């Protein structure tokens, strides 16, 4: 009863101040009925399934972007535009098909980013902490690698003649991008400096080295992780003299110079800052290596506008390079620091990262066509992040709930974590958030359980899809189903025969014919033979 009274009191106070709680037109039933009828018409049009062959494939992965994060990012996007936020549409909200993915690893109820990446990139569920290997491989045991390697959809696309690319805001050898090209029983083996001596003796290779050796002609590589490519104690080009940014490789190899040498007879460019990236002409290059930070990118709210490109800018350049291939392309895009923001309890950082990922999705949509491009947006896992507290319409997403706790009589923020570094006790009691700046970029939202780092969540995550065969992503599915659908749509990997046309040279030959059209052509050929 106390809570109800507080909420009612807040709402009455709001009305008395003359502040509208929602747009005036929403008072009319005709507004909602009309909107629902338009949605119904659009839904009926989805009966016309897009069964084209997907020339291009794009997977947007929001690391840690659970459904509460999607909802909160939607509100933030709207509020950044001066609206209340709840009615706003993210770019991913506009996709016609939505499914749910079960994210558990073979050995974990609540997943990590490595095992999940193996699922949605390689089509096989795996153990936590391992990339590009099946569940028969044991984390940290090098001798369980051989024979348990699994290939990714990026490789399937490359083998089919498509151009391929990886764009991330984390280290390029981090768990998510790593599963696209590496086979490693430990996600932490970022360079040979992290490999145990036993693993080195048994011939295991670090993830950075595998980036350049396993699939040697990845067309576009953009992200962080520069220090893992250079010999130990090599000074970083952007942060000279800072030891934590120096090269880490014990084998003395300079992987960037090796990459340059490999492509010296091609139109290939290595860049390490935003200005150089934006100065290039994508039409005059075939291969790009962009390493913009020694480790992960800074959060988008703290990005150096001269040195660090935005995710949207990297996606723009990547697509313009990749789309020159007449056979099409596969592009993996990771908004990786959503996850990091949540782990640190910094909800504002995490949600702004999610909004930036959505901008990149919108940019990709402008550069491609629904006719021949299958675009999928999903997450690897969720977090113990949520927001609530009976907030009124338009409440600032980083604001307070409109009531005091009826237990300790203190205010609380709408955003809360189940666990994490935001757990704070002051003088034996819960911190009074009205005494701190809870709107600052790095404020750590209150958490129920004290942990140095907040944890992942175990609930299902959303899969948004549009383009050829997008309707195959529906219902509740295992996470490893995703790359199989994408491969089927593009006639690569295991799924090719359904795309064979009368004039093709083989099952992987590109075609824009739909399956019904192919069936009709075959019938006519039979009748007139």
How far are the Cα atoms of 283, 331, 527 from residue 204, in angstroms, in the given order?
A: 38, 27, 59
How far are the Cα atoms of 135, 186, 302, 523 from residue 313, in angstroms, in the given order?
A: 37, 31, 16, 47
C-alpha–C-alpha distance, residues 524 and 513, integer Å: 15
Q: Give burial (CB, 10 Å; 0-12/13-18/19+) of 47.
A: exposed
Q: DSSP labels for 197-236?
A: HHHHHTT---HHHHHHHTSTT-SEEEEE-GGGGSBTTPPP
Reading the block at residue 236, the tokens are 């970083």
Q: Hey, how many other C-beta atoms are within 10 angstroms of the C-beta on 451?
A: 17
Q: What is the DSSP letter of 465?
A: E
CB 87 within 8 Å of CB 450: no
Q: Give burial (CB, 10 Å; 0-12/13-18/19+) of 500.
A: middle
Which distant-in-sequence residues (6+ apart) come within 8 Å of 244 by Cβ?
Answer: 294
Q: Which residues partner with 62 through β-bridges?
A: 335, 379
Catalytic residue among 30, 34, 84, 113: 113
CB 290 within 8 Å of CB 313: no
Q: Which residues partner with 271 through β-bridges?
A: 290
Give SS3 for 375.
strand
CB 211 within 8 Å of CB 172: yes
Reading the block at residue 434, the tokens are 């009205």
Question: What value, to the nearest 5°, has the Cα angle with vertex 130 and ends 249 and 376?
Answer: 105
Residue carrying the six token digits 């083996």: 189
Reading the block at residue 158, the tokens are 């490359």
Reading the block at residue 17, the tokens are 């101040």
C-alpha–C-alpha distance, residues 188 and 63, integer Å: 17
C-alpha–C-alpha distance, residues 303 and 349, integer Å: 11
Our answer to whether residue 28 is catalytic in this structure is no
CB 316 within 8 Å of CB 363: yes
C-alpha–C-alpha distance, residues 482 and 475, integer Å: 12
Reading the block at residue 341, the tokens are 């923001």
Question: What positions carry a catalytic annotation?
Answer: 113
């Amino acid at each position: 009863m106390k809570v109800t009274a507080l909420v009612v009191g807040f709402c009455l106070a709001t009305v008395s101040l003359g502040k509208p709680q929602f747009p005036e037109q929403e008072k009319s039933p005709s507004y909602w009925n009309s909107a629902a009828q338009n949605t119904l018409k659009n839904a009926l049009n989805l009966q016309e399934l897009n069964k084209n062959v997907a020339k291009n494939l794009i997977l947007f992965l929001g690391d840690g972007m659970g459904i509460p994060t999607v909802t909160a990012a939607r509100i933030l996007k709207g509020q950044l535009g001066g609206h209340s936020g709840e009615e706003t549409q993210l770019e991913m909200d506009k996709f016609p098909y939505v499914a749910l993915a079960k994210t558990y690893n073979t050995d974990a109820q609540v997943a990590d980013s490595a095992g999940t990446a193996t699922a949605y990139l390689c089509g096989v569920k795996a153990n936590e902490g391992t990339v590009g290997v099946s569940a028969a491989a044991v984390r940290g045991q090098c001798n369980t690698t051989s024979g348990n390697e699994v290939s990714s959809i990026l490789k399937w696309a490359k083998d089919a003649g498509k151009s391929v690319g990886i764009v991330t805001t984390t280290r390029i050898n981090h768990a998510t991008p790593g599963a696209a090209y590496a086979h490693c029983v430990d996600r932490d083996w970022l360079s040979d400096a992290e490999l145990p001596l036993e693993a080195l003796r048994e011939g295991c290779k670090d993830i950075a080295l595998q980036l350049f050796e396993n699939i040697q002609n990845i067309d576009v590589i953009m992200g962080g992780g520069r220090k893992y490519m250079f010999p130990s104690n090599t000074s970083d080009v952007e942060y000279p003299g800072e030891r934590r940014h120096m090269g880490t490789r014990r084998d003395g190899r300079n992987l960037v110079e090796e990459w340059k040498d490999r492509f010296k007879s091609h139109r290939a460019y290595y860049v390490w800052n935003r200005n150089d990236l934006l100065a290039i002409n994508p039409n005059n290059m075939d291969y790009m290596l962009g390493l913009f930070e020694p480790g992960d990118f800074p959060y988008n709210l703290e990005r150096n506008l001269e040195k660090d490109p935005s995710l949207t800018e990297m996606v723009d350049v990547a697509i313009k390079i990749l789309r020159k291939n007449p056979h099409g392309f596969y592009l993996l895009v990771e908004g990786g620091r959503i996850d990091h923001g949540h782990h640190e309890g910094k909800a504002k950082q995490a949600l702004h990262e999610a909004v930036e990922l959505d901008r990149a999705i919108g940019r990709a949509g402008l550069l491609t066509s629904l006719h021949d491009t299958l675009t999928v947006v999903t997450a690897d896992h969720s977090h113990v992040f949520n927001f609530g507290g009976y907030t009124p319409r338009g409440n600032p997403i980083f604001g307070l709930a409109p009531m005091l706790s009826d237990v300790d009589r203190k205010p609380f923020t709408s955003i809360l974590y189940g666990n994490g570094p935001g757990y704070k006790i002051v003088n034996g009691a819960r911190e009074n958030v009205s005494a701190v700046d809870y709107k600052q970029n790095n404020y750590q939202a209150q958490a129920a359980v004290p942990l140095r780092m907040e944890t992942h969540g175990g609930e299902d995550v959303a899969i948004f899809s549009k383009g050829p065969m997008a309707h195959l992503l529906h219902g509740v599915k295992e996470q490893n189903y995703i790359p199989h659908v994408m491969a089927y749509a593009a006639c690569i990997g295991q799924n090719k025969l359904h795309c064979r046309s009368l004039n093709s040279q083989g099952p992987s030959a590109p075609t824009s014919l739909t399956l019904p059209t192919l069936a009709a052509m075959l019938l006519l050929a039979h009748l007139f033979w």
